[in-house]
Amino acid sequence: MLRRIGASLSLAALSWHAAAADYPAAAAARAIKDPAAGWDHLWHEVLIDITIIGVIFALVMTYFLIRYRRKPGDPKTGSAPKLSPAAAVAWVVIPVFVFLADDLYIAANGWALWNNFRDVPADRMEVRLESGMYSWDYTYPNGVRTQNELRVPAGKAVMLRMTSRDTLHSHWIPDFRVKEDSMPGRITYMWFLPKQPGEHIVTCGAYCGIMHSYMAGKVIVLPAEEFKTWLDQEAARQGVAGKTA
């Protein structure tokens, strides 16, 4: 256990260092790590961790409740032994050590994944997002605009730079395990890696007003060629063809 903790701590430190040192120039050289896959992995790991702790506590308490229930004829006082000073201290130090070790282990893994979430690949498509009551308005690098529909090419990282023109909104794509608030006066970002063509729901996470629950959209992942065709057509249709993609 300790070795694993040490390993993940140094792993976290390393990836932190890497992210700080070569972002974004050399990032493209490394293989892109998909945060969504990392999310699923860490989620299962933490789920196993908390299930084990929960089951241990529940079993111990259930055993005590059955074993020490008062039966007819039993004395009407408990007989818990008095803790010696050494035992009293040990009952603090050992649990603290175990809990802290587990906390730091989870924190180190969480940190490593977090670096993954903010290490945006250099080879990416950047789309600007302005949210408003109640729509998601996207602007592509070539000036094409869409509403509530984000078309992206499969296999390429997509980064959103987000702001809001009125209240808080939160661009959540559950399938890509990613969300971040957008708000007036600040620019926030998120990125995700669409792998296969398909459709994914975008839904608003932050309460933004009366029609909050109807603020939904779609991410439509297209094969790369098809996406390019669509973007060119759309640029011509919207009269923004002069700009390069």
Partner 1 sequence: MNIKEWIFTTDHKRVGILYLIGSITAFAVAGVMALLMRAELSTIGPTITSNPSNYNVWLYAHGAVMILGFQIPALTGFFANYCIPLMIGAKDVAFPRVNALSVWLFYVGIILAVLTFFIPDPPDVMWTGYPPYSTISTGNTALYTFTVLILGFASIIGGVNFLTTVAYMRAPGLKWGKLNIFVWCTLGAFVLQLIFVPVLGTAVTLISFDKYLGTHFFDPAAGGDVLTYQNLFWFYSHPAVYVIFLPFIGVIYEIVTTFAKNPPFNYKMVVYGGIFGIVGLSGEVWVHHLYTSGMADWIRIGMMVTTLMISVPVGLMVIGLAGTLYKGSITFETPMLYALGVMFLFLIGGLTGIPLAVTSLTVHLSRSYYVVGHFHYVMAVAGTFAIFAGVYYWFPKMTGRMYNERWGKIGFWITFIGTNIVFWTMMDIGVKGMPRRYYDYSHMSQFEGAHQLMTIGAIILGIGFVIALINWIVGAIKGPKAGENPWGSKSLEWTTVSPPPHGNWPSPPVLEEGWSPYAYRRA
Scan residues 61-90 and list those touching partner 1 (CB under 8 A).
61, 64-65, 68-70, 74-83, 88
Query: What is the DSSP-derived secondary structure letter of residue 184?
Result: T
Q: Are 141 and 127 contacting, i.e. CB atoms less than 8 angstroms apart?
A: yes
Contact region for partner 1 (CB under 8 A) — 1-9, 107-115, 122-130, 232-240?
107-115
Choice between 114 and 140, CB closer to partner 1? 114
End-to-end, the C-alpha distance of the chain in Å comes to: 50
- Label residue 197 left, alpha or beta by phi (over 0 means left) and psi (-120 to 50 means alpha): beta
Contacts of residue 88, defined as CB under 8 A and 6 or more positions apart, other chains included, come to none
Contact region for partner 1 (CB under 8 A) — 1-9, 112-120, 122-130, 137-145?
112-120
Contacts of residue 49, defined as CB under 8 A and 6 or more positions apart, other chains included, come to 102, 106
The reply to whether 170 sits near partner 1 by the rule CB under 8 A is yes
Whether omega for the bond prior to residue 105 falls within 30 degrees of 0, making it cis, is: no
Choice between 7 and 59, CB closer to partner 1? 59
Choice between 96 and 236, CB closer to partner 1? 96
Residue reference for tokens 């605009």: 145
Least distance in angstroms from the C-beta of 43 to partner 1: 6
Query: What is the DSSP-derived secondary structure letter of residue 206?
Result: S
- Give how many residues touch partner 1 by CB under 8 A: 83
Task: Kindly state the tokens that stand for 234.
Answer: 């759309």
SS3 (DSSP) at 199? strand
Choice between 146 and 167, CB closer to partner 1? 167
The reply to whether 168 sits near partner 1 by the rule CB under 8 A is yes
Q: Which of residues 29-48 bind partner 1 (CB under 8 A)?
A: 35, 38-39, 42-43, 46-47
Contact region for partner 1 (CB under 8 A) — 124-132, 136-144, 179-187, 223-231?
179-187
The reply to whether 117 sits near partner 1 by the rule CB under 8 A is yes
The reply to whether 106 sits near partner 1 by the rule CB under 8 A is yes
Query: What is the DSSP-derived secondary structure letter of residue 105?
Result: H
Selected from 8, 15, 27, 113, the binder of partner 1 by CB under 8 A is 113
